[in-house]
Structure 1
Amino acid sequence: MRQFAVPVAVLTGALVLTGCGSDDAKAQLSVSSAYMPQPVSDMAAGFLDIANKGGAKDELTSVTSDLGPVSVHETVGQAMEEVKSLAVPAHGQLVFKSGGNHLMFDKLKHTLKQGDSVTVKLHFAKSGPLTVEMPVKSATYNPTTGH
């Protein structure tokens, strides 16, 4: 009986340690710095940061809003193009900013002005969706200065 005690203890310890690291094996996503510059037409851009504190990557696959169609764009050089998904790296972030990756709202259902808020739902390949409130800022808003 005693000869089985050591292997069982080692196996139990290994299972416990494996369980401790399981959270790090998943993406742990959060969103910050979300905003939309006040649109001047029926189209608008949206910006935000998606942080991943987990040990597994994920992908943003789509964005939905009651406001109308939303597409995901990346900017390569001077060219903007719609993409099907963007990677959210493990222990990293996906940044949407003016002149870079951004959300594009097309055919807005109603006029938005500074002080309004837009609700978007971010959909991912592996993680559950995240709902984000995106405040509408002035058309010239600069997140680095807050103005």
Structure 2
Amino acid sequence: MSKESKIEIEKLRITASTLIEDGQSVCEITEHLIREKGANRVVAENVVKEFYKDRQKHYRMRGLFFLSIAGVVLIGSLVLQEMTNELMSEWNKWAADGAIYMVVAVKLVLWGVAFYFSLKGLLYLLFGGRGVRIRRPT
């Protein structure tokens, strides 16, 4: 592939990324690249498909990242519970009562954070890139 064609394809990718951010469909972007930029239909379709695949991969990775954060937070909550159980056996009753309330508050916060990140991760995995609609030209 010549240097000029690589430059043209990169210009088409930049235009496609701008149009995808504006929320246009794959079909509209392909037609725009053909009409406005004078691209070949096959090249325009390949550029849009490649960019769309990269974008979907990005959303999947982001979703998995958020799910891993949720998992780490839940594991931290379990470790906190085990540490608390060990400490409760050593403390006297009055100190243990106050510590229980503190631990419950911290666990509720950790569970809330884990729920937030797990929900965010699942939404990225299921609906990431929702601004791009795949429609075939009629």
Q: What range describes the TM-score normalised by the shorter chain of this pair?
A: 0.3 to 0.5
TM-score (structure 2 length as normaliser): 0.33
The structure where helix makes up a greater share of residues is 2
Name the larger-Rg structure. 2
The structure where strand makes up a greater share of residues is 1
Instruction: Flag the structure with more relative contact order, 1 or 2, with Cα contacts below 8 A and sequence separation at least 6.
Output: 2
TM-score (structure 1 length as normaliser): 0.31
